């Protein structure tokens, strides 16, 4: 059954010319198709370059501000605990702010096990009232004794540049199709009057900027999201839906993930399992956005480890038409979107943009 589906979809695919199908002459049932030579190598989606373009646009906007301006965009970041990966991400976010002419404020609690929820809530309340702070980001995960939900709920939704407050999530999960609903322009995220999580926003922005800036038409495509996290899987599925894709979310309890993925024109992998998605699960000619950043042992490298995605990149790039590398794909986009959300928030707070 799976082989049959693969055969049908590959005939319709832009890559169908590159594959030659050889059914076995001695068997009536197709078991597995074999492909001969000239496979096409995918176009690599250069997230680093696309993120640099967006950051340059923001830098440009801020550099033209009068030097005596009272308020520049400001991002406040809370880091609880001493996880090395979180420390690295927070450092990168702070540097990105400085590079594009924004203020950043860091509140660190290295003894994560000792900090109380009340201490964190008080700091957030302070930032909510602070006119210099336009964006608040609580780096996740938090230590186990702290309720993430309680902390994220405390952030003023207008300053919630991570898009994780329930008020922002609810708006993202509303289709606004009922009579009289305000129609939002999902093709311009900067026009959306609430905050959208950064990594999912970055995934869609990549789809919009590939192909020499022409992007690809998401409408009507089959999009399969692997993973159902609050940070990525669920919100990226909503964004794809708002762009009129037909969405499927697969997860740890899904049966036959492979056969579902074989129908996908767009795959977003956000499950956090190194090299999980195999090339044979992909429809030839599909687009792969790999959100995973997984560290695997690499004894022959200087650091002893390397970063890989959720998709088996080396094999997948022989099957799909577009693919993001890891690192250098989605990762840089997350920071670019965080900066953009903060600038949007600042523009709204200072009356430069409608609420
Ligand atoms: N930890 C990993 N990714 C993220 C993110 O996008 N936002 C926050 N707040 N924490 C994270």
| CATH code of the domain in which 21 resides | 3.40.50.720
Average pLDDT for the chain: 89
**Looking at the structure, do residues 29 and 110 belong to the same domain, yes or no?**
no
- Would the CB of 162 count as within 6 Å of ligand 1? yes
pLDDT of residue 67: 76
The listed range with the strongest mean pLDDT (13-27, 32-46, 225-239) is 225-239
Q: Which atom of ligand 1 is nearest to the CA of 334?
A: 6
Look at residue 22 and tell me whether its pLDDT is greater than 80: no
Average of pLDDT values for 91-100? Answer: 98
Rounded to the nearest angstrom, the distance between the alpha carbon of 139 and the centre of ligand 1 is 5
Query: Does 151 map to a domain?
Result: yes
Same domain, 35 and 77: no
Instruction: Indicate whether residue 155 lines ligand 1 (CB < 6 A).
Output: no
Q: Do 234 and 285 fall into the same domain? A: yes
Whether residue 19 is found in the same domain as residue 115: no
Task: Establish how many alpha carbons lie within 13 A of residue 226's alpha carbon, considering only the half-sphere containing its beta carbon.
Answer: 32
**Model confidence at 295: pLDDT above 90:** yes
Is 25 in the same domain as 108?
A: no
| Active-site hit among 93, 158, 159, 317 | 93
pLDDT of residue 28: 33
Say what the pLDDT of residue 178 is: 76
- Per DSSP (E only), the strands in the chain are 43-44, 74-80, 103-109, 135-138, 222-226, 246-250, 266-269, 287-290, 294-297, 305-308, 322-323
Please report which confidence band the pLDDT of residue 81 belongs to, taking 50, 70 and 90 as the band edges. very high
Q: Give the pLDDT mean for 49-75.
A: 92
Q: What is the Å distance from ligand 1's center to 162 Cα?
A: 8
Full 3-state SS string of 77-103? EEEECCCHHHHHHHHHHHHHHHHCCCE
pLDDT at 20 over 50: no
Taking CA atoms only, the protein residue closest to ligand 1 atom 2 is 140
Note down the domain range covering 245. 2-40+196-332
Confidence of residue 8 (pLDDT cuts 50, 70, 90): very low
pLDDT at position 3 over 50: no
Q: In the predicted model, what is the mean pLDDT of residues 245-273?
A: 98
> Binning pLDDT at 50, 70 and 90, where does residue 176 land?
confident
Please work out whether the CB of residue 291 comes within 6 Å of at least one atom of ligand 1: no
Tell me which of 143, 146, 231, 338 to substitute to probe ligand 1's pocket, judged by most ligand atoms within 8 Å of the beta carbon: 231
Distance CA 271, CA 256 (A): 16
Concerning whether 139 is annotated as a catalytic residue, the answer is yes
User: From the CB of 140, is ligand 1 less than 6 Å away?
Assistant: yes
By the 8 A CB rule, do 196 and 205 touch?
no
In a domain, 345, yes or no: no
Residue 217 above 80 pLDDT? yes
How many A from CA of 355 to the centre of ligand 1? 25
CATH classification at residue 143: 3.40.50.10860
Place of tokens 């037909």: 246
Against a cut of 0.95, is the pTM above it? no
Interatomic CA distance for residues 3 and 304, integer angstroms: 39
What percentage of residues in the chain have a pLDDT greater than 90? Answer: 82
- Ligand 1 centroid to residue 274 C-alpha, Å: 19
- Ligand 1 pocket check for 139: Cβ under 6 Å: yes
76 and 36 housed in the same domain: no
Catalytic pick from 46, 158, 160, 162?
A: 162
Whether residues 259 and 324 share a domain: the answer is: yes
For ligand 1, the distance from its centroid to the CA atom of residue 82, given in whole angstroms, is 15
> 90 and 151: one domain?
yes
117 and 220 assigned to the same domain? no
pLDDT at 36 over 70: no
89 found inside a domain: yes
Among candidate residues 46, 139, 158, 317, the one labeled active-site is: 139
Is residue 27 very low, low, confident or very high in pLDDT (cuts 50, 70, 90)?
Answer: very low
Mark whether 93 is an active-site residue.
yes
Helix (H) or strand (E) holding 208: helix 198-209
CA nearest to 47, candidates 277, 282, 208, 197: 208
Kindly state if the Cβ of 104 falls inside 6 Å of ligand 1: no
Q: Is residue 107 domain-shared with residue 29, that is, in the same domain?
A: no
Decide: 137 in ligand 1 pocket, CB within 6 A. yes
C-alpha 27 to ligand 1 mean position (Å): 52
If you take atom 3 of ligand 1, which residue's CA is the nearest one?
140
Residues 122 and 220 reside in one and the same domain: no
Nearest CA to ligand 1 atom 11: 140
Q: Are residues 137 and 229 in the same domain?
A: no
Q: How far is the CA of 140 from the centre of ligand 1 (A)?
A: 5
Structural domain total, the chain = 2
Letter string b/e over residues 166-201, b meaning 16 or more CB atoms within 10 A of that residue's CB: eebbebbeeeeeeeeeeebebeebeebebbbbbbbb
Q: Catalytic: 162? A: yes
pLDDT bracket for residue 15 (50, 70, 90): very low
Q: Is ligand 1 within 6 A of the CB of residue 344?
A: no
- Look at residue 61 and tell me if it is in a domain: no
Structural domain contains residue 170: no
Ranking 149-163, 168-182, 311-325 by mean pLDDT, the lowest is: 168-182
pLDDT at 18: 32
How high is the pLDDT of residue 291?
Answer: 98
- Pocket lining: 138 vs ligand 1, CB cutoff 6 Å: yes
- At residue 39, the pLDDT reads 63
Residue 48 has pLDDT above 80, yes or no: yes
- Asked if pLDDT for residue 344 goes beyond 80, the answer is yes
Q: Is residue 182 part of a domain?
A: no
């Amino acid at each position: 059954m799976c082989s049959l589906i693969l055969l049908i979809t590959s005939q319709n695919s832009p890559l169908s010319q590159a594959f030659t199908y050889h059914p076995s002459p001695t068997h009536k049932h197709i078991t597995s198709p074999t492909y001969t030579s000239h496979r096409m190598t995918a176009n690599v989606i250069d997230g680093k370059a696309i993120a640099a373009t967006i950051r340059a646009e923001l830098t440009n906007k801020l550099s033209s501000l009068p030097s005596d301006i009272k308020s520049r965009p400001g991002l406040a970041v809370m880091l609880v605990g001493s996880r090395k990966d979180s420390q690295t991400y927070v450092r990168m976010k702070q540097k990105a702010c400085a590079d594009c002419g924004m203020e950043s404020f860091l509140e660190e609690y290295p003894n994560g096990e000792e900090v109380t929820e009340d201490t964190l809530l008080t700091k957030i309340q302070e930032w909510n009232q602070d006119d210099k702070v336009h964006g608040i980001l609580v780096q996740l995960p938090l230590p186990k004794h702290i309720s993430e939900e309680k902390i994220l709920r405390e952030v003023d939704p207008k300053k919630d540049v991570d898009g994780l407050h329930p008020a922002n999530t609810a708006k993202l999960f509303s289709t606004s199709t009922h009579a009289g609903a305000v129609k939002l322009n999902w093709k311009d995220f900067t026009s959306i009057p609430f905050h959208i999580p950064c990594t999912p926003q970055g995934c869609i922005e990549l789809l919009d900027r590939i192909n020499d800036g022409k992007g690809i038409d998401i409408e009507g495509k089959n999009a399969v999201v692997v993973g159902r996290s609050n940070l990525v899987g669920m919100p990226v599925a909503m964004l794809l839906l708002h762009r009129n894709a037909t969405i499927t979310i697969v997860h740890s309890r899904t049966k036959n993930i492979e056969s579902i993925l074989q129908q996908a024109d767009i795959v977003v992998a956000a499950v956090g399992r190194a090299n999980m998605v195999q090339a044979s699960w992909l429809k030839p000619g599909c687009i792969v956005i790999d959100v995973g950043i997984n560290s695997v042992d690499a004894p022959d490298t200087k650091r002893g480890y390397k970063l890989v995605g959720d998709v088996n990149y080396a094999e997948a790039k022989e099957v799909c038409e577009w693919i993001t590398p890891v690192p250098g794909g989605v990762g840089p986009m997350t920071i670019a979107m965080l900066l953009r959300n903060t600038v949007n928030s600042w523009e709204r707070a200072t009356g430069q943009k409608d609420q």
